[in-house]
Homo-oligomer: A and B are copies of this chain.
């Protein structure tokens, strides 16, 4: 086979462009042991958590409790896939932002579109929120993640912050559902459910606020957190709380008192009648 020399117009165009659409792989980033450990350790932790949670809920037979269990076990299970994608380099990239080449962990934003809806569905089921409202919360949550992904793929610094602002606006709606809607939906539920929901909502709100903070302070933002490895560790620690600890607390409650989470409304199943 013979090749002629082909000058590469994509590269030329990209130098002009504010928005490279080819994400360049960044396999060499994984030689950084700080970064690499923040990913592989999470694969191990989330994998262990998934197995533990399956074991914890093996005897849950009540309908609604089983549904919440399955959704909640999905949270660390999706995280295993997310961290393996990052650790193997598939969903890591490099991007030049304002003359600085940074490693973008774009796979995090992509997989949050799967894991964060599971968190919201679990909380919504616990609050006995109507399905349409859970769906609405999920739509805004996914919009938040996708615009976060757009920020991660954008090279012009000013535009990155505009995406950050848009993503944060969607986040405000998610916070509104968490802080205003679901407490109201849960008003007729038992004290035990309301206490657990309050704990989990507080955990979620506090830790979820941490993610945009890490973005703003980390290497994708102001770079006050100076390295990709440390930024990644900050995200990973937030994930330990917002995903593994969250799921553990919810599943322990569900496993100990499965009847407490029975639905009182029209989304009930025949077995409830």
Contact = CB atoms under 8 A, between A and B. Distances in A.
B6 A7 contact: yes
Contacts of A121: 132, 135-136, 139
Interface string A190-227: 00000000000000000000000000000000000000
Contact of A267 (B70, B166, B267): B267
Would you call the interface of chain A mostly helix, strand, loop, or mixed?
helix
A65 to B, nearest CB: 12
| Number of identical monomers bound together in the oligomeric complex | 3
A71 B143 CA distance: 12
Contacts of A129: 269
Given A67-B136, A130-B267, A166 B18 contact: no
The 10 closest A-B pairs by CB, nearest first: A266-B266, A19-B90, A17-B25, A3-B7, A17-B27, A188-B270, A131-B131, A19-B89, A6-B11, A88-B159
Interface of A: 3-14, 16-28, 50, 63, 66-67, 70-71, 73-74, 77-78, 80-81, 84-85, 88-91, 93, 114, 117-118, 121, 125, 128-136, 139-140, 142-143, 146-147, 150, 153-154, 156, 159, 162-163, 166, 169-170, 173, 176-177, 181, 184-185, 187-188, 264-271, 273
